[in-house]
Amino acid sequence: MPDQETDNSSAPPSPRFEPDDGWVPADERLFGVDRRTIAPTLAVFALVIVMSVVLPVINAMVPYDDIVKAGDVLKLEGDVTVVPEAGWGITSGVRAGNAPLSGEYPATATVEQKAVKFRVHTAPFNGDANKLLDQIETTSEALNRGRGVHVASMHTTIVTDQGKQGAIARVTGPNTGGVIAAFVFEGRGVEAVATGPSDTGPESTAAVLRMIRSISHPGEGTR
């Protein structure tokens, strides 16, 4: 008769039974849900709320205090400059002489005054101002598919203080109005868009036109 103890030590042990992934021990159920999975999920949700709700809300509550002073000039990539209106708030872009450490100015600058927003963007472009405005219109139509802000008038000419000719058109959208202007300086396109409520007063409109006319590029003559 085989020795029981020896038998036990030499027989290969059977693998322990394991239930499938869906099984929840009776003492770990809370309304049928595995209570052990609640804490880690809530921890992740807490992080999601901080990232997607708390931080954006804090950001929305903190006002901009980077207010344009008389004489400030915003500089963009490719040596394009624009003179913002004193009293408006800078929400993106940097002043001339205050370049980032990399030495490269950003391609976009935005200033705001109440609900009126003025944004200037620059990038390489081959063609003239009218062609650039057409390109912007095409891209904008493709993105918005007839909804949102769109060009609502024929192109007309605008001349900057530097004497550079550009193209300008009116834009409209739901409860929104504004203008869009385009310039091309030696292969560098500049887009300036101002949008605000449809009932924006003449003061803001004049300020926007002054900012558009202030756009300049070194070495650019009248063309």
Partner 1 sequence: MTTTPADLDRARNVALDLSGWGRRFTFYQPRNFAFWGYLALVGTGMFVFASTLTREYNAYAPAIALAVTSFAIYAALFWWFTQYIDHYAKLPAKLMVVAFLWGGFAATWTMAANANDAILALYAKSFGQSWALNWGAGLSAPFTEELAKGSGLLLLIALAPPQVRTAFDGFILGAFIGLGFQIIEDIAYAMTSAGSQFGANQIGASIGTIFVRMVSGVAAHIVYSAIFCAGLIYLLGRPAEPRRVGRGLLLMAIPMLLHGTWDSLAAIAGPSVLTLFGLLIAVVVIALVIAVRVYELTARRERDFVRDVMAPEEARNVIAAAELDAMAGNRKARKRYRKAGRNQRERKRARYVLNAAYGLADELASARGADTDRVRFARAEVGRIRAGVPPPPR
Look at the alpha carbons of 52, 55, 60, 64 in this order and tell me if their dihedral is positive or negative: negative
Q: Indicate the SS3 state at residue 64.
A: coil
Least distance to partner 1, CB of residue 197, Å: 23
Stretch that binds partner 1, among 55-63, 154-162, 203-211, 215-223 (CB under 8 A): 55-63
Comparing CB distances to partner 1, the nearer of 85 and 191 is 191
Q: Indicate the SS3 state at residue 67.
A: strand
Comparing CB distances to partner 1, the nearer of 30 and 159 is 30
Does 25 bind partner 1 (CB under 8 A)? Our answer is: no
Q: For the chain, what's the residue count?
A: 223
Cβ-based neighbours of 93, under 8 Å, separated by 6 or more: 74, 76, 106, 108, 109, 110, 111, 120
Helix (H) or strand (E) holding 155: none
If you search the block for the tokens 């058109």, which residue do you land on?
A: 169
Tell me the Ramachandran region of residue 25: left when phi exceeds 0, alpha when psi lies from -120 to 50, beta otherwise: beta
Helix (H) or strand (E) holding 157: strand 156-159
Least distance to partner 1, CB of residue 201, Å: 27
Does 149 bind partner 1 (CB under 8 A)? Our answer is: no
Does 186 bind partner 1 (CB under 8 A)? Our answer is: no
Least distance to partner 1, CB of residue 181, Å: 13
Contact between residue 119 and residue 91 where contact means Cβ atoms under 8 Å apart: no
Question: What is the dihedral angle through the alpha carbons of 131, 83, 94, 67, rounded to the nearest 10 degrees?
Answer: -130
Size of the site for partner 1 (CB under 8 A): 69
Which DSSP state fits 41? H
Does 27 bind partner 1 (CB under 8 A)? Our answer is: no
Does 185 bind partner 1 (CB under 8 A)? Our answer is: no
Does 21 bind partner 1 (CB under 8 A)? Our answer is: yes
Site for partner 1 in 154-183 (CB under 8 A): none
Site string for partner 1, 129-148 (x = CB under 8 A): ---x--xx-xx--xx-x---
Return the residue of 14, 70, 71, 199 that touches partner 1, per CB under 8 A: 14
- For partner 1, the binding residues (CB under 8 A) are 9-16, 18, 20-22, 24, 29, 32-34, 36-38, 40-41, 43-45, 47-48, 50-52, 55-56, 58-59, 62-66, 90-95, 98-104, 106-107, 121, 123-126, 132, 135-136, 138-139, 142-143, 145, 189, 191
